[in-house]
Amino acid sequence: MSPDVSAVRIQRRPPESPLADVMGGAARWEVGVHEHGFIALVDVMPRLVPQGLSADSAIVQAARVSYGQGTKRVHEDRGLIRYLMRHRHTSPFEMVELKFHCRLPIFVARQWIRHRTASVNEYSGRYSILPDRFYRPATDDVRAQSEANRQGGDEPVDDLAAAEFLDYLDRVVASHQRYEALLARGVTRELARIGLPVNVYTEWYWKCDLRNVFHFLSLRLDPHSQQEIRDYALAMYALVEPVAPLACEAFLDYQLEALQLSRLEVEALREGRAAPATSNSRELAEWQAKRRRLGLEE
């Protein structure tokens, strides 16, 4: 039974000041990534903001509602946003939402989907034929396994190994011809797709609030993240920064480029010791890296 809304009266109020589109009237902002990929910003909430402001205004508006009288000590939006970020009052950042359209290799998508705080709708190989698009790194981007990081690579491999790897990819890419041939023979799409490699491209729409976009960026812009997903994260940041510049500035200052010290590290600094009281080799290596960032040693 449908709800009876005949007695409901909707009041349509005009804006208190002229509004502007945070995307400048564009249907989408798009950045190409690698040869076949891209990430595009296709919508923002709020899309319309008071003229001269950005989507940062939604963060400030939400914070002032929840903080009430306490915000009278904060005299400008930038100061309030920096205060929120500095003290980890993150819920106001959820008032900004961003919707992206992405084309990316499946192996990148499988890392990306680990961020479970977004709404995602992906291209389906059950209903549609996967196009003949594959990620193929440049020779200089074929990396050797890192000895310090089991998950990643660091320096390029030698030329022979790189050539062998790229030849291997060329052979893998040829699987798309057999995929198409099997479809032509009547094999169902949902089965034919399972023989394709993970460097084939998929697409999805990915909608996420700004708080969790920042969490994604803090992990995927990190030097330890895989280079291919870092490329997408850098493009994402470039799209977000014009929409919420004050929030992005605070994110850089207090998250991405900040330095967090453990209790043991604080004690070591306070007591003038060269190392924290731990025998964990990874913790000690991270401490040395922090000391270099702080300029305490060469």
Tens digits of residue pLDDT in 172-210? 888 999 999 999 999 999 999 999 999 999 999 999 999
Residue 53 maps to a domain: yes
| Cβ neighbours around 198 below 10 Å, total | 14
DSSP 8: -
pLDDT digits (tens, 9 = 90+) for 242-288: 999 999 999 999 999 999 999 999 999 999 898 999 999 999 999 99
Residue 192 maps to a domain: yes
Burial class (CB within 10 angstroms; exposed 0-12, middle 13-18, buried 19+) of 174: exposed
What's the CA gap between 110 and 226, in Å, rounded?
A: 12
User: Looking at the structure, do residues 182 and 223 belong to the same domain, yes or no?
Assistant: no
Residue 27 maps to a domain: yes
The backbone torsions φ and ψ at residue 261, rounded to the nearest 5 degrees and listed phi first, read -110, 140
| Structural domains in the chain (count) | 3
Residue 6 maps to a domain: no
Residue where a domain stops, chosen among 163, 182, 197: 197
Q: Using the predicted structure, report yes or no on whether residue 37 has a pLDDT greater than 70.
A: yes
Question: 201, 171, 170: which is closest to 37 by C-alpha?
Answer: 201
User: Looking at the structure, do residues 176 and 113 belong to the same domain, yes or no?
Assistant: no
Residue where a domain stops, chosen among 182, 197, 212: 197
Burial class (CB within 10 angstroms; exposed 0-12, middle 13-18, buried 19+) of 177: exposed
pLDDT in the model for residue 1: 84
User: Looking at the structure, do residues 62 and 125 belong to the same domain, yes or no?
Assistant: yes
What's the CA gap between 154 and 144, in Å, rounded?
A: 6
**Cα–Cα distances in angstroms (integers) from residue 205 to residues 35, 115, 165, 199, 244, in the given order:** 20, 14, 31, 19, 20
Range of the domain at 279: 261-298
Mean of the per-residue pLDDT values for the chain? 91
Residue 107 maps to a domain: yes
DSSP 44: E
User: Looking at the structure, do residues 170 and 208 belong to the same domain, yes or no?
Assistant: no
User: Looking at the structure, do residues 106 and 247 belong to the same domain, yes or no?
Assistant: yes
pLDDT in the model for residue 231: 97
- The arithmetic mean of pLDDT across residues 139-157, rounded, is 75
Residue 5 maps to a domain: no
User: Looking at the structure, do residues 182 and 204 belong to the same domain, yes or no?
Assistant: no
pLDDT in the model for residue 64: 87
Residue 10 maps to a domain: no
Here the CATH number for the domain that contains residue 28 is 3.30.1360.170
Reply yes or no on whether 220 is catalytic.
Answer: yes
User: Looking at the structure, do residues 96 and 226 belong to the same domain, yes or no?
Assistant: yes
pLDDT digits (tens, 9 = 90+) for 74-132: 358 999 999 999 999 999 999 999 999 999 999 999 999 999 999 999 999 999 999 99
**What residues contact 116, with CB distance under 8 A and at least 6 apart?**
none
Q: Which of 220, 230, 273, 282 is catalytic?
A: 220
